[in-house]
Chain A
């Protein structure tokens, strides 16, 4: 069926939520409390639209489309309504954008530019509330910047069901808070920072680190476990140094992680900045080493399909026995996003029929004189005396290895991962070229 929004016909299904239809069709509709994965709450009143035949303006997040629905988001009347509600949202806001980390990606700023642009009418003292309150789990709260959309509260009560956050106080003294003596404490807590449409909740890890308008962003996949949550890698070139990854943000994927990430995955961006800075060996040296008999290679199950494929081909050509072992941690997984298998791409290892049998690996390892490690994190735990070790690494390592080669990590690579449910996903390289070569390039040279 079709409905009319601002004189344009739009295709949709009977019973769809009007705000979903609008967002899907890129119709501008301001909103704070509505979030695709948290649903509507109806408290912010920003998504008001004019509906033909209705006496009063209606909120789009509580309107279901039906036959002959005619909606206006641009009439003079509704523009005035939005402006006046926005003015109230900003009334007691401290307007401290120059020192606020949300500046640049703040909905209050965006909507003020879209619908506000009025001179302040404020002539009465502002309501004072709590500032820089440490909620725990890296989350800082500024109650004065809050618009009380309750996204964070609904996240902890409906999604994680841990219920740490609530609203206390009434009227204009209502504010988000944790119960006295309690703290925000769950493995997904930092999602509330991303869900917060304004600067009320900021991440201790990111605040005061960067202005967001200096950041570039790349579509990628979290490598923290086998779930394959979709992310944005936000990075920039820091003055006088190499480019740096500043944070991971979730990238909405309805069939995998929705709009959420676990804190472990979210903070795993730090590994990407921990690149190898030591001396790198020469390819010719490795060629010589390869002459020995009993050679073994161990590949990380978090490498991309393309990298694993290249390693497999390399090992076949040079007659090297290739293994890959999964990173299993039975204390890591839960019944939501986190999986016990902490390797990002073990499904590809299986698909490429790489040997994953641990006892066979240990047997061959005992006899091997040369071990080539493709970024596997477990090799350093093993007894390596009397063996020559060649390391291919994407991160800083301390190693007494014979040879060390460094290659670009996944922020600078594109490739394919297969997640725990068999879903194949692409990730992409950032626009800056890493100082380290890509793994496939090194292997080609060999």
Chain B
């Protein structure tokens, strides 16, 4: 059931060093890369149907094309600000196979005619950032990067200062420019992101790390995995009340329950499954009853009222308190709201404070109504999707587990 494309080298000892990486096929895609024109590479990515793996799932090829067509100095920015609770896949790539990421960056830069790339690494990922920096240094030595390379690419690591919102691409770029990490107003027509006014491609670590396979083996080889609309694989992470928590790569479209049973080793201590938060903290929770036919792809999870997100599943067993679980998530949103838009700044803090009343079993019927109306105000009225995500989380818990909240009402 496990399919290894991105995670192929993860279990090889010292896979982060150049020597081992070269032995195991890293940088071998560069030969086929430079045989093709940049536009051909973009076409290949489009045909492969590669989707962004940071949570949104937008088609990567289209994004590349827009950046490529825009006049100006181009930048490629790798989003390694992985801070969503329940999501811990990118850190595996950074620490276990950084050369795969570098190889992907070279291909991406070549395709969109960029010579400069930044990797925005989450501030707390200090040790992974060090591993990555060592790998970049090695790549410079071996002339895969820098002036001596066949195609010149310079990579700079920028470490964030610990804000979840800087994983939002426009906030990430604001932060990279040296400003506060506040998301920007969304454009009215399709356009790239801009770094100091220049067209910029922002892609997740795993998206870029999937590129070398596609360049080397072609679009069809990638499409051989996954489903029609969600081709390829994803590094699914599984955590919570599960026997074998971890990151395991699988094809899109595998059954969620199979994944939990066969790869995750089933719910811990033989307990019954109560609910799954399917794709990182910001996707609505799904009760076990809805999961019978659930598949791990974008379309299937959308059809049952949630989202695939980053593919980081959080497993809750029969003993889990849903009120406590929601409180845990809302404390996170309260803490991480950037504070720019009113509905988010005030809404996340208010709903978090209301949950305190539920936890203390001192809530009233009115509190439940307020929670619902605050959630409504947070949805679709802000610059970025942070508040709508928080709103979706609240709605998910109240829709499926209202009874537990009613128990806390005096």
Contact = CB atoms under 8 A, between A and B. Distances in A.
A73 to B, nearest CB: 15
Interface string B341-371: 1110111111001101100000010110010
B340 A43 contact: yes
B188 A171 contact: no
B339 A45 contact: no
A121 B366 contact: yes
B410 interface: no
A109 B121 CA distance: 44
Interface residues of B, number: 36
Interface in A59-88: 62, 64, 81, 84-85, 87-88
A121 B347 CA distance: 13
Interface in A153-186: 166-167, 169-174
A84 B336 CA distance: 22
Q: Which of B180, B334, B346, B349 has the most CB of A within 10 A?
A: B346
B382 interface: yes
Contact of A172 (B345, B364, B374, B382): B345
A112 B160 CA distance: 40
Contacts of A88: 342-343, 345-347, 350, 374, 377
B254 interface: no
B345 A81 contact: no
A37 to B, nearest CB: 19
A56 B383 CA distance: 12
A57 interface: yes
B337 interface: yes
Contacts, number: 99
A147 interface: yes
Given A124-B357, A171-B336, A43 B342 contact: yes
B342 A170 contact: no
A203 to B, nearest CB: 26
A127 interface: yes
A98 interface: no
A127 B335 CA distance: 13
B334 A171 contact: yes
Contact of B339 (A91, A123, A124, A174): A174
A108 to B, nearest CB: 12
A124 B342 contact: no
Given A88-B346, A123-B367, A172-B348, A167 B339 contact: yes
Interface of A: 40, 42-46, 48, 55-57, 62, 64, 81, 84-85, 87-89, 91-92, 121, 123-125, 127, 147-148, 166-167, 169-174
Interface of B: 163, 180, 185, 188, 334-343, 345-350, 353-354, 356-357, 364, 366-367, 370, 373-374, 376-377, 380-383
6 contacts: A56-B380, A81-B381, A92-B349, A121-B366, A124-B356, A171-B334
In the A-B complex, list the 8 residue pairs whose CB atoms are closest, starting with the nearest.
A174-B339, A124-B353, A172-B349, A88-B346, A171-B337, A84-B377, A56-B380, A171-B339
